[in-house]
């Protein structure tokens, strides 16, 4: 009984160390966002700066998914070395996916803000919400696909992610809730959102994505 307890404690300590290490790496690679949130006001005039500071976010999230995939497969990981490896290896593809889809979401949000005072806004607002949900879901699914299939082309990634986002919306909605909550905390409490939550939220989305693509 003592041996089992000691083994569980050591295993739990190992996973805790991995989660802390992944949080540190995520924070380091998202320093532009942390600096923007620290020194810039959260006003529409600064929205472009915040969007640009978010560009490394997608690559960082994909690296997280890849690290969790390695842990699941090999039951071991060199946190700092492997995170940097996955970040660098899949940088171009995950950056392209993140930039394209996040840009669409950014433009939709700008349109919502611009048209908010219009008399017909109530009629078109639901359409914007649907667009944001679909593109946000496709964004998360696309990054997970990049982490699990290194050879797939970008157009195929978009094809699969949008198909899944529409067909399994009842499952991917959990990703959207998690991701939205995470972004809310990041903008409200940057250190908490970027330095404490990344590994936990990423792990939960990764497990949900496994259900989506099973």
Percent of the chain as helix, strand, coil, to the nearest 5: 85, 0, 15
Give pTM, 2 decimals: 0.90
Per-residue pLDDT of the chain (214 residues; tens, 9 = 90+): 445 665 555 566 788 899 999 999 999 999 999 999 999 998 888 999 999 999 999 999 999 999 999 998 988 899 999 999 999 998 999 999 999 999 999 999 998 888 887 888 888 889 999 999 999 999 999 999 999 987 889 999 999 999 988 888 877 889 999 999 999 999 999 999 999 999 999 999 999 988 887 6
d(CA 69, CA 190): 26
Q: Is 85 exposed, middle or buried (0-12, 13-18, 19+ CB in 10 A)?
A: middle
Q: What is the pLDDT of residue 12?
A: 64
Residue spans of beta strands (DSSP E) within the chain? none
Query: CA of 214: how far to CAs of 158, 167, 168, 188, 208, in Å?
Result: 18, 13, 11, 35, 10
Q: What is the 3-state secondary structure (H, E, C) of 43-70?
A: CHHHHHHHHHHCHHHHHHHHHHHHHHHH
């Amino acid at each position: 009984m003592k041996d089992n307890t000691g083994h569980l404690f050591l295993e739990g300590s190992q996973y805790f160390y991995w989660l802390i290490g992944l949080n540190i790496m995520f924070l380091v690679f998202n320093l532009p966002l942390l600096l923007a949130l620290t020194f810039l006001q959260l006003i529409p005039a600064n929205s472009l700066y915040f969007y640009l500071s978010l560009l490394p976010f997608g690559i960082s999230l994909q690296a997280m998914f890849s690290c969790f995939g390695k842990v699941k497969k090999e039951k071991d990981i060199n946190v700092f070395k492997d995170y940097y490896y996955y970040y660098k290896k899949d940088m171009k593809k995950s950056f392209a996916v993140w930039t394209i889809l996040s840009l669409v979401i950014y433009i939709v949000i700008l349109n919502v803000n611009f048209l908010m005072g219009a008399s017909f806004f109530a009629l078109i607002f639901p359409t914007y919400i649907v667009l944001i949900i679909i593109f946000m879901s496709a964004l998360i699914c696309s990054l997970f696909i990049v982490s699990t299939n290194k050879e797939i082309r970008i157009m195929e990634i978009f094809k699969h992610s949008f198909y899944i986002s529409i067909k399994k919306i009842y499952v991917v909605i959990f990703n959207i809730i998690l991701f939205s909550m995470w972004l809310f905390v990041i903008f409200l409490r940057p250190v908490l959102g970027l330095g404490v939550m990344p590994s936990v939220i990423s792990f939960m989305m990764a497990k949900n994505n496994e259900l989506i693509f099973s």
